Structure formats: C-alpha cells, structure tokens
Amino acid sequence: MFESISDQIKNYKKIVFVTGAGISQESGIHTFRGNEGLWRNYDLMKLATIDAFYENPKLVWEWYNDRRSNIFQAQPNQGHNAISELEKYAQVVVLTQNIDGLHKKAGSSNVLELHGSIVKIKCSVCDYNEDILTEISDFPPLCKCGNILRPDVVWFGEPLPQDVWQNAIDFASECDLMVIVGTSFVVSPANTLPLYAKQNNATLIEINPETTEMSGEMDEIIRNTSVEILPKLVSLFKK
C-alpha cells in the first residue's frame, strides 16, 4: 500500500483530492444513482435536469428535500476527517463532485464544490441565493420576486460554474499528488482532472473498491474504502 509514494511522502507539498459519492456513502448518504424508498419508481437521472424542474418543480423539490433531510443528518466519516487532518502537513485542496458539504463540516478549509451545494438555494430568475439549513415545507418554494427557487446545484446538461472549474483546473495542474477517492469518473468534465495533474508529472492514486474509467491512468490503485485507507495515508506524513 502506497508503495509508489512511501519514499517521497515528505516531498509532496501540494495535494489535491478529487472525491465522489463513494466517500459520502460511508456516512450514510444515498448514492445518486441508487433508487431508495418512495423514489424507486422514478428515473432519478431524469429528475436532475432543468427540463424536469420546469415540468414539475414540486416533484423535483420533494425529491431534493428528501436528499436534504438525509444529508443534514449525516456526519463526516474517517475519510473526510483524514483529508482535513492532512492540512497540518501539506497544502491540501479538495475538488468534490459531492453536494453534501461534509468536507467543509469535517474542517477542510479549501474545498471547491464542482456541482454546487444542496445547502444553497437560488432563484431561477433573479440573483437571489442563500444557505438554507432547515426543512422546506412549501413546494415549490418561491423567491421574493415571485419566481421559483431551485437547489443551487449543477444539473445534467448545465455547465459547471466557470470560476470554480477554472480554479479546479489550476489546482490540478499544479499539484504534486492527486488522490482520487470514491468516484467512478463517468461524469464530465470532472473526469478530466487527473489529466491536468498528469501533465504536471503528479503522482496519481486511486482509492476505490471498484475499477473506474480512469484506473488505467493511475500510478497506484488501492481497492478499498476511504474510511479504511485515508487515515493510513495521513499516518505516513506523521512519521
């Protein structure tokens, strides 16, 4: 384990983590593609689109409210906490596809939420946006301007916020070590981030129980969960 980096661990000064649903699943958050409970009869991939929202905003909001309830109850796990702890030893940036906010809750100070945050809501028309940490009771909720509020997340077919994405590219292009955790890398453009790191001759490590689209590009692959492995990575920096 970590054979490719054990001899040079102290030389890594800029570390980027790219994280996906796998790391949060261990905190009890349902994966996006899982059909849980009363939503099992819906194609959730189709619910997460702007077309679905305008066709039936009440249904989309009910689904997101279920997700919000699940996420608000979740706590960071040992994987999240290990990434936060690693800031004691190196410059650490987290590029996450997750919308649950658990990296920030764990104490990570430099987190780029590529796909937005379920904590945030915004108006579908005006510039209003706000963090809402409570349950939403009226579906769909309305803005003061009278238009429908929506979750401040990136839906299928929508572009990533350009400032966030450009910063993600910059961090990936400058890192010494990139650790990819719990993501299948089937979603673009996040799946291009390892290529930017590779151009900088960074070491790439994948931590995932399953083979992914980018496994062939990795310098080291660890087929295990983040809860098991990330604390061991931190222990290398402590030696």
Binding positions for Zn(2+): 123, 126, 143, 145
Binding positions for substrate: 64, 67
Domain boundary assignment for the chain: 1-28+76-115+160-239, 30-73+118-153
The single residue of 30, 80, 103, 115 carrying the catalytic annotation is 115
Phi, psi of 111 (to 5 degrees): -120, 125
In this structure, the number of other CB atoms found within 10 A of the CB of residue 162 comes to 8
115 is catalytic: yes
What CATH class does 1-28+76-115+160-239 carry?
alpha beta
pLDDT at 144: 95
pLDDT at 10: 83
User: pLDDT means per 10 residues in the chain (239 residues)?
Assistant: 82 96 91 58 81 93 89 95 97 97 97 96 96 84 95 94 97 97 90 96 95 91 96 92
Residues paired with residue 16 on neighbouring β-strands, in sequence order: 93, 178
Closest CA to 139 of 66, 196, 71, 204: 66
Q: Is the separation of the CB atoms in 64 and 87 below 8 Å? A: no
Task: State the Rg of the chain over Cα.
Answer: 18
Binding positions for NAD(+): 97-100, 182-184, 208-210, 226
Q: Which CATH number applies to 30-73+118-153: 3.30.1600.10, 3.40.190.10, 2.40.40.20, 3.20.20.70? A: 3.30.1600.10
Sign of CA dihedral 75, 78, 83, 87: positive
pLDDT at 33: 58
This model's pTM is above 0.85: yes
Long-range contacts of the stretch 163-171 (C-beta < 8 A, 24+) = 164/112, 164/113, 164/114, 165/114, 165/189, 167/112, 168/95, 168/112, 168/114, 168/193, 169/193, 169/196, 171/14, 171/16, 171/93, 171/95, 171/112
Binding positions: 64, 67, 97-100, 123, 126, 143, 145, 182-184, 208-210, 226
**C-alpha separations of 176 from 80, 88, 156, 196, 209 in Å:** 20, 16, 31, 11, 24
pLDDT at 37: 53
pLDDT at 221: 95
